[in-house]
């Protein structure tokens, strides 16, 4: 078997696990792949280096792969997604001060995102009356589920995320510091940063990402469309290696080793216990709170999580349209769906059995009408305007 | 000739920022500001209201600038373009040099090209400088280890400095190693036997 050299970029986050374990446990070497994993500091770098060919493949934000393919927000480069690296894994974390204000304003259970969003609307209104500064929330990138989850949540409370709050991009490693120094009042970020804020006592997890979207398309393995065509064999081997790594990660007996490998300074560079509890979905909302079992907190290659779903691509494009990042057209919708390639996945793994508890619309948003992948006009036209009164 | 274009350099490396700013000044760009602090980056950038933003690729705050492409309350002057779609070669050269440019206003293409080219060459110049500095530092530390080894050998074997060096050189040759490597192992061994 020929030894194929691949350069693959990643961002230090828990959902890079299947990719890094594929290399660190030798699953890629067993497939005849010599992979040079490059840890990057920004999504912009990952995208640019993938687009211009410095990387063969990348761990990428799912919406960013679509934006790149559509030429939205940056240069156009057709990318495809033959495999998902992770579903879910985000959380919305707020400062203890804001949490207290929300608890005071909430009617009903604050753990219910509808109640918390309405409470946030009341807090915002009260702050406005008192002439206080608008609340600031951090997210990781304009084309990210973090941005969309925050907006979806806020919109459910009648909040206009472009007017009533300030949404700012922050690199994930800066999130916790920014919350501690009160530069932001809350954020939505991937694992393990929410738990780190909780451990340090500077934040409280208000909602796990899976409470907002049951099945959120989070990170993908992205490759250039022409690369996939030219290197079909290397791509198949890469998918097999990542799939074996995901199986390894999902075997409870391996978790100590997985946590140790992922915690390494050249991978995530955080405490192994934090990695372990993230993957297991054992999380605290607050430092003095109980450990909760959140089985769907992060899904790496289990319950059909690795198979790309064009409905997910359609949903992400609908978010871009809804929040005025992209124009609405059938052609763009079709192009977005065509980025996600279950056919390439099935060619390697055969027909896979779908998870038994899939939400009917495959997304499972906590609020709003069910998503229709073939008819986004109704959904997209919801726009920024508050639809529901507080 | 002073060119009325405001340029912001976002770089945590002060030396590289100076090298780049000097180059831009020499080329006639007088309104060059260096932002060292990446906290509140967007607010600082908007306070300056630049036409061009140059940022190094080692900077995690590069993603913060991605927000300038959005139309929202936070963003006052959305980025009209990065570099034209046809300029992929320019982008490749920039990424290769480790820098990225954001063009806030609709500048003429030639102007952007000249700024970007200057930026790329200065980044390369800095990389060479850093490389030379590293090599000089390595040479210096190797020199120190070799001197220490000579001292250890002179004392242990009661020989002169020239003989100590000859012994070191011969051992390195017969073991097919660099003199500095052999010297380092002698120093390590001497430490252990103390």
Residue spans in chain B of domains classed CATH 3.40.190 = 7-132
Compare CB distances from B63 to A54, A166, A171 and report the shortest one's residue.
A171
**Residue of chain A whose alpha carbon sits nearest to that of B99:** A45
Q: Which one is the CATH code of B7-132: 3.30.110, 3.30.70, 3.40.190, 1.10.3470?
A: 3.40.190
**Residue of chain B whose alpha carbon sits nearest to that of A44:** B63
The reply to whether B64 touches chain A by the CB within 8 Å rule is yes
Instruction: State the pLDDT at residue A75.
Output: 80
Is the model's pLDDT at B151 over the cut of 70?
A: yes
**Residue of chain B whose alpha carbon sits nearest to that of A141:** B63
The reply to whether A269 touches chain B by the CB within 8 Å rule is no
Instruction: State the pLDDT at residue A384.
Output: 44
The reply to whether B149 touches chain A by the CB within 8 Å rule is no
pLDDT digits (tens, 9 = 90+) for B164-190: 999 999 999 999 999 999 999 999 999
Partners of residue A162 in chain B, C-beta under 8 Å:
72-73
Partners of residue B62 in chain A, C-beta under 8 Å:
41-42, 44-45
Residue spans in chain B of domains classed CATH 1.10.10.10 = 138-193
- Decide which of A42 and B102 is more confident: A42
Partners of residue B59 in chain A, C-beta under 8 Å:
41-42
Instruction: State the pLDDT at residue B80.
Output: 53
Instruction: State the pLDDT at residue B75.
Output: 63
The reply to whether A140 touches chain B by the CB within 8 Å rule is yes
Instruction: State the pLDDT at residue B68.
Output: 81
Compare CB distances from B88 to A49, A52, A174 and report the shortest one's residue.
A52
Instruction: State the pLDDT at residue B90.
Output: 80
ipTM score for this prediction = 0.89
Instruction: State the pLDDT at residue A390.
Output: 28
Taking CB atoms and an 8 Å limit, are A140 and B63 in contact across chains?
yes
Q: How far apart are CA B123 and CA A235, in angstroms?
A: 35
For an interface test with A, give the residue of B10, B41, B60, B79 to mutate (most A CBs within 10 A): B60
Taking CB atoms and an 8 Å limit, are B62 and A42 in contact across chains?
yes
The reply to whether B184 touches chain A by the CB within 8 Å rule is no
Stretches where chain A sits below pLDDT 70 are 1-2, 378-390
The reply to whether A236 touches chain B by the CB within 8 Å rule is no
Instruction: State the pLDDT at residue A109.
Output: 95
Question: Which alpha helices (H) appear in chain A, and where do they start and end?
Answer: 17-24, 27-30, 43-51, 62-70, 96-105, 113-129, 145-156, 172-180, 193-199, 209-212, 225-230, 232-249, 255-263, 272-280, 310-322, 330-339, 342-349, 377-380
Partners of residue B40 in chain A, C-beta under 8 Å:
183
B87 min Cα distance to partner chain A (Å): 10
What is the side-by-side order of every strand in the sheet holding A91-94? A166-169, A136-139, A186-189, A91-94, A204-208
Please tell me what DSSP assigns to residue A135: P
CATH entry 3.40.50.2300 includes domain B138-193: no
Pick from B72, B113, B65: which is nearest to A170 by CA? B65
Q: How many Cβ atoms sit within 10 Å of the Cβ of residue B155?
A: 11
pLDDT digits (tens, 9 = 90+) for B69-99: 776 666 666 565 555 556 678 888 888 899 9
**What residues of chain A, 88 to 117, have a C-beta less than 8 Å from chain B?**
none
The reply to whether B67 touches chain A by the CB within 8 Å rule is yes
Pick from A178, A181, A179, A164: which is nearest to A127 by CA? A164
- Domains contained in chain A, CATH given: 4-87+218-270+302-309+325-360 (3.40.190.10)
Structure tokens at A40: 């990057």
Name the pTM for this structure: 0.88
Q: How far apart are CA B81 and CA B101, in angstroms?
A: 10
A44 min Cα distance to partner chain B (Å): 6
What does residue A289 show for φ and ψ, rounded to 5 degrees?
A: -95, 170
Q: How many Cβ atoms sit within 10 Å of the Cβ of residue B173?
A: 11
Taking CB atoms and an 8 Å limit, are B82 and A54 in contact across chains?
no
A250 min Cα distance to partner chain B (Å): 31
Instruction: State the pLDDT at residue A32.
Output: 97
Taking CB atoms and an 8 Å limit, are A45 and B85 in contact across chains?
no
Instruction: State the pLDDT at residue B83.
Output: 53
Compare CB distances from A169 to B58, B64, B82 and report the shortest one's residue.
B64
Partners of residue B65 in chain A, C-beta under 8 Å:
44
B169 min Cα distance to partner chain A (Å): 37
B21's enclosing H/E stretch is: helix B14-26
The reply to whether B92 touches chain A by the CB within 8 Å rule is yes
Instruction: State the pLDDT at residue B78.
Output: 59
The reply to whether A170 touches chain B by the CB within 8 Å rule is yes
């Amino acid at each position: 078997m020929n030894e194929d050299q691949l350069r693959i970029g990643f961002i230090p986050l828990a959902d890079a696990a299947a990719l890094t374990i594929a290399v660190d446990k030798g699953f890629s070497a067993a497939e005849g792949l010599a992979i040079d994993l490059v840890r990057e500091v920004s999504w912009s770098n990952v995208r640019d280096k993938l687009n211009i060919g410095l990387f063969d493949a990348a761990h990428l934000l799912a919406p960013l792969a679509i934006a790149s393919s559509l030429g939205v927000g940056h240069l156009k480069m057709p990318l495809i997604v033959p495999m998902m690296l992770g579903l879910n894994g985000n959380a919305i974390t707020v400062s203890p001060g804001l949490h207290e204000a929300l608890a005071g304003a909430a009617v009903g259970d604050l753990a219910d995102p509808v109640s918390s969003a309405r409470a946030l609307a009341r807090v915002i209104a009260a702050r406005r009356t008192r002439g206080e500064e608008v609340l600031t929330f951090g997210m990781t990138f304009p084309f990210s589920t973090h941005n969309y989850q925050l907006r979806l949540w806020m919109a459910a409370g009648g909040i206009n995320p472009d007017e009533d709050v300030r949404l700012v991009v922050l690199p994930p490693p800066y999130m916790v510091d920014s919350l501690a120094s009160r530069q932001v009042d809350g954020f939505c970020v991937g694992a393990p940063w929410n738990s780190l804020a909780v451990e340090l006592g500077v934040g409280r997890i208000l909602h796990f990402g899976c409470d907002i979207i049951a099945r959120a398309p989070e990170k993908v393995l992205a490759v250039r469309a022409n690369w996939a065509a030219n290197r079909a064999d290397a791509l198949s081997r890469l998918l097999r290696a990542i799939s074996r790594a995901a199986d390894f990660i999902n075997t409870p007996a391996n978790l100590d080793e997985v946590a140790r490998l992922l915690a390494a300074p050249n991978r995530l560079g955080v405490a192994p216990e934090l990695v372990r509890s993230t993957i297991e979905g054992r999380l605290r909302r607050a430092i003095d709170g109980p450990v909760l079992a959140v089985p769907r907190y992060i899904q790496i290659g289990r319950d059909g999580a690795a198979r790309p779903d064009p409905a997910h691509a359609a949903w992400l494009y609908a978010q871009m349209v809804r929040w005025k990042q992209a124009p609405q057209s059938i052609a763009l919708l079709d192009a977005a769906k065509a980025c996600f390639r279950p056919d390439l996945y099935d060619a390697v793994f055969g027909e896979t059995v779908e998870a038994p508890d899939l939400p009917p619309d495959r997304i499972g948003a906590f609020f709003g009408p069910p998503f229709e992948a073939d008819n986004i006009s109704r959904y997209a036209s919801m726009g920024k305007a508050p639809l529901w009164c507080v | 000739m002073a060119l009325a274009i405001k340029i912001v350099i976002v770089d945590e490396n002060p030396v590289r920022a100076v090298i780049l700013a000097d180059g831009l000044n020499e080329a006639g760009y007088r309104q060059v500001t260096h932002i060292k602090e990446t906290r509140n980056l967007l607010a600082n950038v908007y306070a300056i209201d630049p036409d061009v933003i140059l940022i190094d690729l080692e900077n995690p705050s590069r993603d913060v600038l991605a927000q300038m492409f959005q139309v929202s309350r936070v963003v006052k002057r959305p980025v009209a373009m990065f570099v034209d779609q046809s300029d992929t070669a320019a982008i490749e050269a920039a990424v290769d040099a480790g820098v990225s440019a954001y063009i806030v206003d609709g500048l003429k293409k030639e102007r952007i090209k000249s700024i970007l080219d200057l930026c790329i060459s200065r980044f390369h110049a800095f990389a060479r400088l850093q490389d030379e500095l590293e090599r000089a530092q390595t040479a210096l530390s190797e020199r120190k280890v070799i001197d220490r080894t000579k001292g250890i050998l002179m004392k242990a074997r009661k020989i002169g400095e020239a003989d100590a060096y000859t012994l070191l050189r011969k051992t390195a040759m017969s073991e097919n190693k660099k003199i500095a490597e052999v010297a380092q192992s002698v120093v390590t061994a001497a430490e252990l036997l103390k």
